[in-house]
Amino acid sequence: MLIFWSGAVSSPAKDFGQLKDAQVALAAKRYADAEKILTHLAAGGDAKAMWMLGELYMKGRGVQRDYSKAKEWWEKSAAGGDPNGMCYLAQLLGTGIVGPTDSKRAMKLLERAGLQGCAQAQYCMGLSCMEGFVTKQDYSRASSYFESSAKGGNGDAACVLAFMYEHGLGIERNSNKAAALMKSAKIHGCARGESEIGRMYCYGVGTPIDYGRAYYWLSKGAADGNGYAMTELGGMLADGKGVKVNAERAVDMYVKGDKNGNPSAKYQLAERYRRGLGLPKDLNKAKALFEDSAKLGDKKSAEKLNLIKSSVAGERDQK
């Protein structure tokens, strides 16, 4: 069992007031102020503050971006019973950005968080059922999770559920419900949902591959600030999927994806410097980017970094 001790026990009322101060600071983009408040509360055992602190480290707001520290705080938050901490830790475990992938544990965490009414966890469970991650692909079950999440105010879930109603995936096709859900999604914000729909069209999940629609939905997600959508657009522009190959725009999207916290974007930029794709070949710049990404905990970047070091050592030996 994890025990946190700050030397004194704060009153719940005082902690709630400080947590609200942190939320106000975050809304005003005063990230350094928020970090100080959240660190103090986390040291006193506040599981919600731990979750929020982990998010600051994940996004590099008020602190240096550090995926490993984000994971550490989410581990503590989840152990403290916070459903958001469980949900965010699950997403990190599912991607394997820091350490080995642990999909089974990720699903258990999502289930626990979902039972506590965490709309984000219910949304993630819906995606897992829809795409067959760990659990068997089940559109009907996926729509049920999305329904619960949308009722909890999750705009991304409403967005994907609208997609399911439009295509009749696990539920009866209903264009009116799809339109109503999409309207609701816009009110709550749905950048991730738009990005997921784009990815479904791009990879043929629940619908035939359609790069034109994929580009449309990913562009909407990117315009709403989703780093994943920006990175996927970069890939489409680099490979000419549904659009003309445009290496310069691809690099631009990867840069934006990196700035918006998508781990794959920095890796893609480094690869382009390593191989001279859309950028002048520059092993030093590639190495620097891979090093940055590896420090954040990205395993693929660490592997490529070793590859560059081996290549440089081999050239040195030949001389």
Dihedral angle at the C-alpha atoms of 35, 40, 43, 47, nearest 10 degrees?
A: -70
Domain assignment present for 36: yes
Asked if residue 30 is part of any domain, the answer here is yes
Q: Are residues 48 and 103 in the same domain?
A: yes
Q: What is the pLDDT of residues 292-309, one digit of tens each?
A: 887 766 778 888 888 887
- The residue range of the domain holding 122 is 117-189
262 within some domain: no
- Give per-residue burial for 173-207: e unless 16+ CB within 10 Å, then b: eeeebbeebbebbeebbbbbbbbbbbbbbbeebbb
87 and 125 in a single domain? The answer is: no
Q: Based on the fold, state whether residues 35 and 88 are members of the same structural domain.
A: yes
Q: Looking at residue 295, what is its pLDDT? A: 74
Q: What is the pLDDT of residue 10?
A: 35
Last residue of a domain, one of 189, 211, 229: 189
In a domain, 151, yes or no: yes
CB 161 within 8 A of CB 150: yes
Q: Report yes or no on 161 lying in a domain.
A: yes
Both 91 and 131 in one domain: the answer is no
Q: Does residue 62 share a domain with residue 106?
A: yes
Residue stretches of the chain with pLDDT short of 70: 1-16, 134, 296-297, 311-319
pLDDT at 132: 81
Cβ–Cβ under 8 Å, residues 175 and 208: no
**Total structural domains within the chain:** 2
Give 238-247 contacts, CB < 8 A, sequence gap 24+: 238/277, 238/278, 241/202, 241/211, 241/214, 241/215, 242/211, 242/212, 242/214, 242/215, 243/211, 243/215, 247/277, 247/278, 247/279
Last residue of one domain, picked from the residues 83, 113, 143: 113
Query: What secondary structure does DSSP assign to 294-311, as a single string?
Result: HHTT-HHHHHHHHHHHHH
* Residues 6 or more apart whose Cβ sits within 8 Å of residue 289: 266, 267, 269, 270, 273, 301
Residues 45 and 109 in one domain: yes
Residue 31 lies in a domain: yes
pLDDT of residue 311: 66
Residue 25 and residue 83 in one domain? yes
Same domain, yes or no: 74 and 121: no
**Do 28 and 90 share a domain, yes or no?**
yes
**At which of 61, 83, 113 does a domain end?**
113
Question: In Å, how far are 200, 202, 204, 207, 264 from 213, measured between CA atoms?
Answer: 10, 8, 11, 11, 22
pLDDT of residue 317: 47
Long-range contacts formed by 3-10: CB under 8 A, 24+ apart? 3/45, 4/42, 4/43, 4/44, 4/45, 4/76, 5/45, 6/40, 6/43, 6/44, 6/45, 8/44, 9/44, 10/41, 10/44
Is residue 95 one of the residues assigned to a domain?
yes
Domain CATH code at residue 162: 1.25.40.10
pLDDT confidence of residue 103: 87
Catalogue the long-range contacts made by 12-17 (C-beta closer than 8 Å, 24 or more residues apart).
15/41, 15/44, 15/46
Residues 34 and 83 in one domain: yes
Q: Please indicate, yes or no, whether residues 97 and 170 belong to a single structural domain of this protein.
A: no
Q: What is the pLDDT of residues 72-121, one digit of tens each?
A: 999 999 999 999 999 999 988 987 777 788 888 999 999 999 999 999 99
Whether 256 maps to a domain, the answer reads: no
pTM score above 0.75: yes
Q: Are residues 43 and 94 in the same domain?
A: yes
